[in-house]
Amino acid sequence: MGMTMSQKILAAHAGLGSVEAGQLIEARVDLVLGNDITAPVAIKEFEKAGLKSVFDKRRIALVMDHFTPNKDIKAAEQCRNVREFAKKHGIIHFYDVGEMGIEHVLLPEQGLVAPGELVIGADSHTCTYGALGAFSTGVGSTDMAAAMATGRCWFKVPSAIRFTLLGKPGKWVGGKDVILHIIGMIGVDGALYRSMEFAGEGLKHLSIDDRLAMANMAIEAGAKNGIFPVDAAVLSYVKARVDRDFTVYEPDPDCSYEKEYVIDMSGLKPTVAFPHLPENTRTVDEAGGIAIDQVVIGSCTNGRLEDLRIAASILKGRKVAKGVRLIVIPATQKIYLDALREGLLEIFVEAGGAVSTPTCGPCLGGHMGILANGERAVATTNRNFVGRMGHTGSEVYLAGPAVAAASAIAGRIAHPDEVIGGK
């Protein structure tokens, strides 16, 4: 029996000729990631175990992004803890205020992830890097501590579900809409501990930013990881950023998938996930009319330059509805600068929005846009659990940047064509 793409990467890193679903393995890792919430816990365990050195100061990334710039004293103490650890061990890839970004956008941008690599991170959305043909997954802080010392981690080899994507998405339909449609179709546990492996001729119509958004939300279907084939678009993206050799893996023709889904993206519409689960999806036509208090455009799902361009194309020359707060968060310093130079930030400010320094901020109820009791927000983030963005009585509606921008103008969940006169 052949192996899936994910299984081939795991086998290679475990030094095995082959692996099969359910097998427990120990494998070397190419990169270990932590942030200002999870790294302090890992550092505590690292030092508690009496560990004196890291396995490779070039293969650990520590990104201060969740409560950074620090929102309070506790956040400041946590960042100082990580800052001192990074200095002590000479960690090359330490990112702090002024040079950091949201981790899952920053690492691909900096060329720290390449096809065929194995990446673990003490953050559930580490699965993002599967968009580049890597096996990447979230782990606990204790696993992160052990991996920082040994460069190895244990894995249970996942089985796989194949998603064959056909057709070209219509106007205003992007990767976020595709993955929300899939999660709505299979449920938040529909890929539990499976590998979501994407394929099909429709991939040529999905940009790298689209794929990063989709892989990012694989965890919202319960998946161990999400992964895309390495095509010309991926190679172009990676070769512009990565200065080391890497290996491209493809699934064997006779590999086994637990299930297979075929999705014609040409029939999809802009999609919204209602509270309080990402699976609670409806098309924007079915969701329209719900009044909102806030719109957040950003996060590790949709804070990239392409997302900001889409939002700006709708907001340009228009105003945010009275009583609605629009918060735009470019995901990295580079994206911030690029958006500044393109005039996108000017469009957001003139529309009545607030532009933030890169941070996870409101996505996890951290800062820069916490919701009060009874308030509703449309957000391009990845989770809408009870209390995710603030008070347990608040509500979060997940959407792509086009619907988010249109909703900010309308003051309610709205289709983009509704506010720009195309409908």
For every residue of 267-283, DSSP letters joined together read: G---EEEPTT-TT-EEE
Nearest to 95 by CA among 113, 82, 77: 82
Number of H helices, E strands in the chain: 15, 18
Binning pLDDT at 50, 70 and 90, where does residue 289 land? confident
Give per-residue pLDDT as tens, 27-44: 999 999 999 999 999 999
The SS3 call for residue 344 is helix
Q: In angstroms, rounded to a whole number, what is the distance separating the alpha carbons of residues 332 and 336?
A: 6
> 30 with 119: CB under 8 angstroms?
yes
Share above pLDDT 70 across residues of the chain, in percent, rounded to a whole number: 99
Q: In angstroms, rounded to a whole number, what is the distance separating the alpha carbons of residues 393 and 181?
A: 26
CA dihedral sign, ordered 249, 254, 260, 262: positive
The structure's pTM equals 0.94
Give per-residue pLDDT as tens, 108-150: 999 999 999 999 999 999 999 999 999 999 999 999 999 999 9
Q: What is the full DSSP assignment across 347-407?
A: HHHHHT-EE--S--GGGGT-SSSPBPTT-EEEESSS---TTTTB-TT-EEEE--HHHHHHH
Is pLDDT above 70 for 422?
no
Q: Which residues contact 1 (CB under 8 A, 6 or more apart)?
A: 20, 254, 255, 256
Domains of the chain (ranges, CATH numbers): 5-263 (3.30.499.10), 272-416 (3.30.499.10)
Summary mean pLDDT of the chain: 95
Is pLDDT above 50 for 423?
no
- Could you say which DSSP state residue 56 is in? -
Q: Is 88 exposed, middle or buried (0-12, 13-18, 19+ CB in 10 A)?
A: exposed
Q: Is 346 exposed, middle or buried (0-12, 13-18, 19+ CB in 10 A)?
A: middle
Give per-residue pLDDT as tens, 219-249: 999 999 999 999 999 999 999 999 999 999 9
Q: In angstroms, rounded to a whole number, what is the distance separating the alpha carbons of residues 169 and 223?
A: 24
> 371 with 391: CB under 8 angstroms?
yes
Element (H, E) at 25: strand 24-28
Which amino acid is it at 403? V
pLDDT for position 10: 98
- Could you say which DSSP state residue 321 is in? P
Place of tokens 């998946």: 223
Beta bridge partners of residue 32, listed in sequence order:
60, 120
**SS3 per-residue string spanning 120-172:** EECCHHHHHHHHHCCEEEECCHHHHHHHHHHCEEEEECCCEEEEEEECCCCCC
Is pLDDT above 80 for 56?
yes
Binning pLDDT at 50, 70 and 90, where does residue 260 land? very high
Give per-residue pLDDT as tens, 355-411: 999 999 888 888 889 999 999 999 999 999 888 989 999 999 999 999 999 999 999
> 332 with 359: CB under 8 angstroms?
no
Q: In angstroms, rounded to a whole number, what is the distance separating the alpha carbons of residues 400 and 413?
A: 12
Q: Which residues contact 184 (CB under 8 A, 6 or more apart)?
A: 271, 273, 278, 279, 280, 281
